[in-house]
Every structure is written in C-alpha cells, then in structure tokens.
Amino acid sequence: MNPEELHQLAEQHANTRTQIPHRIRVCAGTSCMGLHSDQLVSAVQRELKQHGHEKTCRVSGVGCMGLCSAGPLVAVDPDGILYQHVSETDISAIVASVGNAPLEQLRCPTDIPFFTHQKRVVLEHCGEIDPERIEDALAVGGYTALLKALTEMTPAEVITQVMRSGLRGRGGAGYPAGLKWTTVAKARNPRKFVICNGDEGDPGAFMDRGVMEGDPHRMIEAMAIAGYAIGANEGYFFVRGEYTTSVKRLRKAILQAERSGLLGANIFGTPFSFTLEVRIGAGAFVSGEETALIASIEGRRGTPNPRPPYPAEQGLWGCPTLINNVATLASIPPIINHGSEWYASMGTPNSKGTHVFALTGKVAHTGLIEVPLGTTLREVIFEIGGGIPNGHSFKAVQMGGPSGGCIPAEHLDTPIGYEDLQRIGAMIGSGGILVLDDTSSMVEVARFFMEFCMTESCGKCVPCRVGTVQMHNLLTRISTGAATTHDLALLESLCDLVQHTSLCGLGRSAPNPVLSTLRYFREEYEASLTSTPSNELIPLTARPPAPPTNGPNGKGA
C-alpha cells in the first residue's frame, strides 16, 4: 500500500459508513459479553434481515463503551440513543424504533457527567468502531500517524515529539516514555525489539484489555511507530492468557494489516519493515515486571532478574528492547497526528496528557473512563462515578491495586498525578480505582491485597517469598482479634524490611496497602488488638503449590 492508496481507502470506507442511514452498535467488550451481548448482535442481524432493513441499517459489535454497570449497552446512530441493560427480548422493539421515537424505558442518558466529564484520547475510537474490521479503523484515520512518521519525519523527530509531549509510562512507574525510547535508539546493537506489555494483572483492572479489545489497529500502528523510532523491525504483544478476546482481535488485526501492506516489508514504499507476533502469558502477576516478561517470551520461567542491565540495553535475547504498556503506546498515534504541544496542553506540569482508569467498587457508575491527569479524585468518584450508592458514605479509595495505597476522604481534592499521589502514600499504578464505603474494613482490604501478593510471589527472593506470608498471617491475626501490640509492631517492621530488600517491584510495593491503611486508619488496627501479651513466633504456613504453566512461555507480563 502506498500513501495515496491509504488516503483513498480511508475516504472510501468513511463514505461507506455515511451511506448507510442507520447503525446499531452493540458493546462486545468482555464485560458485556459476560452478559451475552454477543447474542444481541445475532438477534439484531436476524431482525434486520426479517424486516428487510439490511441496506438501511448496519449492526456492529464494538469494544467497551465505558459504562459497564449499565451493560449490555446498545447504541443507535445517528440518533444518538444509548440503551442500557438490554436483553434479547428488547431487540425487536429497538430495531423498530430506529429513526422513530426512542424506547424511554431502556434509554441511558448520555448527558450525565460519566460521559461529559471525560476526555477520550486513548479511548477515542473504542466503542465506536468494529475492532475486527480494518475498514472501520481506516475510516476514522487509522495508520495516518504511521504514514506521517515514515514519510515526513526522521526517527529522531518522532522521539522528539514523544519527549516534548511529556508522556510518562502508564504501567505504574511513570518513567518518561521519550527517555526510554532515546536509550534504546542509541544502542548500537543492530537487532532491537519492541514489546507491548498487555499483561495487566491487578485485581479489578481492565484498562489495557479495553483498549486491545476495542481498537487493536491503533496498537499495531503504535508498535510500528515505536519500531521505526528506535530502529527495531520486530515486535511482540505480550497478553495475559485470560484475555482471550484481546488475543483473538489482535491476531486478526495483525493478519489484516499484513494483507493490506501495513505490516511487513517496505511499509508505504519506505525502507522500513516491521513484523508483529502475539505471545500469551500463563497467569503470573510477577511477569508484568520487565525482566520476568522477557524471560517468559524466551520460553523460560517468568521470574525477575536484578537490574542493571536494563532491558533498554540488554533485553530480549540479549538485544536492546523497548517495553511499554498498552495505554502508553496507544497515546503515540494521537501525539504524532496532533503534535506534542497539543498533548502537553492536557494534564499538569509534571503529569501530562490523559489516563485511562478502571473505576470499580462501591460507586454508582462503574466502568472504563479517561480523564486528563490533574482531575481530582472527588470529581472522578462523585461526578463521573455518580457517588456512593445505597445511602452509604465514602470511606476510602484504593489507587494502584496491590502496589498502591488507600486514600481517605480528607484527600479527595488531591489531583490525580504521579507526584501528587505519592505524597499521600498512593500511586496511579496502571490505573485501577477501587472505591470503598463505610461498610469496608480497612484491615480486610490490606489483608486481601497481601493475600494476592503472597500468592503471586514467584518465590525467587526470601524477603518477598517469606515476608508476604508472614505479613498475611499477622493481618489474619489482627482481623480475627487474636493479635497484640507486639504483632502490630512486627507487622510494621516487616513492611519496612520487605519494601527495602525485595528483588522486584512486586515485593517492594507489597507493603503499600498495609502502610497506607496504617497511616490513615490505624484506629481500626488498634481496635482489633487484644491486651493479652504474646511472644510466640508466627508459624510459616505452607505455601499452596504453584499452578501449572500454560505452555512453554510460563506466564506473561
């Protein structure tokens, strides 16, 4: 495909979309498909065929529309109607209403803050296009950023745009993306790799899944741009094995891109060539760590290694390797298309752009959202999220999953930013927001996350392998009223030891939920303590057997 052909195809597919008067979009994200939304697509197709409306109305299964708590969702275009909690028995009436009066009993209002207070950059086309049709991606400007990069910019100019945008890694650490790209680009090894880390494993996190399911062609375009910028011709999507829909759609999109000449040799007639593969992880949370991810792709057990050397210098098969997570890479095409100044105009001076979050827990509107960094927690929870339901009151919000911390009501006006959250004992992490109400026990919350870290520890280093088990035992004692002040002091001491001596980020961040709940909700710990002194040692309980691995990769990051 040459540049002229891309423009012609984009215009052709855009015109095709407008020639059909009506379109019905059915959410085919994992959340809605868990409620059988895939059956709704078939039901709409049957209804359209039965009434002879196939040429005047098109049905598409699309990615996550965002408001998961109202699923399954069905949208009617161009009427601008969104229906919620749709069942198969509603389809006949919905099809009959197209172009007529809407069904008010099923209608979901679209003028609520959940929709109006968002700024969709990464999620720009999720829920709008059919992720399994490259034609839909081209119609909304897919691969134009890649064309611009390859034909109008040098690799150094691409990296400069990423640097000036202020984009920071969305996987949790917040490392400047442009700085990482520069390091890999400067490496002299002629063979380099790009890896997309699609193995989000935080409990309640589904941000990356939503992007991969809803707009896989954007991910392919971003990977190719990254490869061009750093001098790599090979890339890998590393996706957790549970994300079967993401794997299916990415593989289909890669095949479509190859057939269209958007992947492979001499893309757009330039000297640049790029290939992509999907590798599936086997479920270990620790493989989200970069060195463990690399080990898994190479066919070894997914456990971390000491750094340095860093993957940017010596990564996959000993070659310089760029590893970014899904949301980081999905930000690249709009940066190239609109410019670094446009992207940097959003957010705060130190936390620029937008961030995708999974809003879950005790909040009225749960789902996938995207807001500019700098938005306050209060706005996210009480405006976008609709507040705390069932007459309960807000207690805390857990940010950053098992690596993050709990934030009480006194900090609700804190802007969501990397340094801002660190100052109050939390972190953005990969983007999970878990809202807790007045029925939640903060000791139990800490115990839940510690159990997760204990189970997911790879066991390679003693502080994490033993420390997380002992901390979990202490938290169990406290939650059952069997602990003493000595136990609480020992818990705090263990938190410090594990945090400063573990090999990788899993162990070093495992104490964070405990430390934050101790900082803000210490009275709940102290209220559970018994006055009876105890000097007995805490037994090291037997660890459960490791789960079997899925194939040669071991796991995924």
The pLDDT tens digits of the residues spanning 102-128 come to 999 999 999 999 999 999 999 999 999
pLDDT digits (tens, 9 = 90+) for 316-347: 999 999 999 999 999 999 999 999 999 999 99
Position 546 scores a pLDDT of 47
Position 554 scores a pLDDT of 36
**Mean pLDDT for the stretch of residues 352-360:** 96
pLDDT digits (tens, 9 = 90+) for 227-256: 999 999 999 999 998 999 999 999 999 999
Nearest CA to 509 among 56, 172, 147? 172
pLDDT(78) > 70? yes
Calculate the average pLDDT of the chain: 91
| Cα gap 214→529, rounded to integer Å | 49
pLDDT(458) > 80? yes
Position 53 scores a pLDDT of 84
pLDDT(542) > 60? no
Side-chain-side CA neighbours of 277 within 13 Å: the count stands at: 6
Q: Domains of the chain, with CATH numbers?
A: 19-110 (3.40.30.10), 141-343 (3.40.50.11540), 351-438 (3.10.20.600), 443-527 (1.20.1440.230)
Position 329 scores a pLDDT of 97
pLDDT(400) > 90? no
Position 531 scores a pLDDT of 66
Position 541 scores a pLDDT of 46
Task: Determine the 3-state secondary structure of 372 from DSSP.
Answer: strand
Residue 284 contacts residue 554 (beta carbons within 8 Å): yes
The DSSP result for 226-294, as a single string, is HHHHHT--EEEEEE-TT-HHHHHHHHHHHHHHHHTTSSBSSGGGSS--BEEEEEE--S-GGGGSHHHHH
pLDDT(550) > 80? no
DSSP, res 105: T
pLDDT(547) > 60? no
pLDDT(555) > 50? no
Q: Note the pTM of the prediction, 2 decimals.
A: 0.92
The DSSP result for 127-186, as a single string, is TTS-TT-HHHHHHTTTTHHHHHHHHH--HHHHHHHHHHHT-B-TTTT--BHHHHHHHHHH
If you search the block for the tokens 């018994």, which residue do you land on?
530
